Each structure stands twice: as C-alpha cells, then as structure tokens.
Amino acid sequence: SAVISQKPSRDICQRGTSLTIQCQVDSQVTMMFWYRQQPGQSLTLIATANQGSEATYESGFVIDKFPISRPNLTFSTLTVSNMSPEDSSIYLCSVDGSHAALYNEQFFGPGTRLTVL
C-alpha cells in the first residue's frame, strides 16, 4: 500500500481565515480523494481529484469553499476557505490502490485535525 503524509497534522485557526492542507504520496496514483470526519461522525467524501482535470465535488461541497489542486500524480492540496467553527473537523486524503487502479480500495493518510475558533 502507498505511504501517505499530510501537513499540517493539526491546526487551530481563526474564523474567516483559510487553511491549505497538503497530501503527499510516495508513489504515483491516479485518483486522490478528500474526506471530512466531523467529531463523532463517520467520513464524508468532499471531492475526487484527478491529475490534470478539475476536481469533482460531492453534493453539499463547493469549489469556492474547498478549492483543490492536483498538480501531479503524487500531490494534492485542499483549502478550507473563510472558515467558521462548523468547519472544525478532521480532513483526510486517500488514494486508490494504484497497482490495479482499484478505486474502491482506498488508503488513507493520517488526517489533519482542524479547530476553528
């Protein structure tokens, strides 16, 4: 499985500011995914990021609030814009099982724990 790192691991931010989260993979992968895990809740898919194309957002998530970049096959960023306390959550990136392009066999990074005051 791929080794995935995320930066920062945690942050405390002020309302109205923005935070960019980085996801780095140790091998080339086709698909990268961004999830949100709110306190005591399960994971919810925010968007799918494919290299060289615009990210695809799930219902309830918009590009203006969560812009995503995917400049190459090992890296992606998620920005949480104009933050409010409701954005306090763990943000996780995941990648597909690239050996066989098994998009359903996803491996997760350690997450970024965000607190918005």
Partner 1 sequence: QKEVEQDPGPLSVPEGAIVSLNCTYSNSAFQYFMWYRQYSRKGPELLMYTYSSGNKEDGRFTAQVDKSSKYISLFIRDSQPSDSATYLCAMSGDAGGTSYGKLTFGQGTILTVHP
Residue 106 lies near partner 1 (rule: CB under 8 A): yes
56/84 with CB nearer partner 1: 56
| CA gap 113, 69 in Å, rounded | 20
Give the nearest distance from C-beta 84 to partner 1 in angstroms. Answer: 23
| CA gap 109, 43 in Å, rounded | 13
Among 57, 61, 75, 107, binds partner 1 (CB under 8 A): 107
Among 45, 51, 57, 65, binds partner 1 (CB under 8 A): 45
Q: Give the 3-state secondary structure of 27-55.
A: CCCCEEEEEEECCCCCEEEEEEEECCCCC
Cβ atoms of 114 and 91 within 8 Å: the answer is yes
| Residues within the interface to partner 1 (CB under 8 A) | 1, 4, 31, 33, 41-45, 48, 58, 92, 94, 96, 103-111, 113
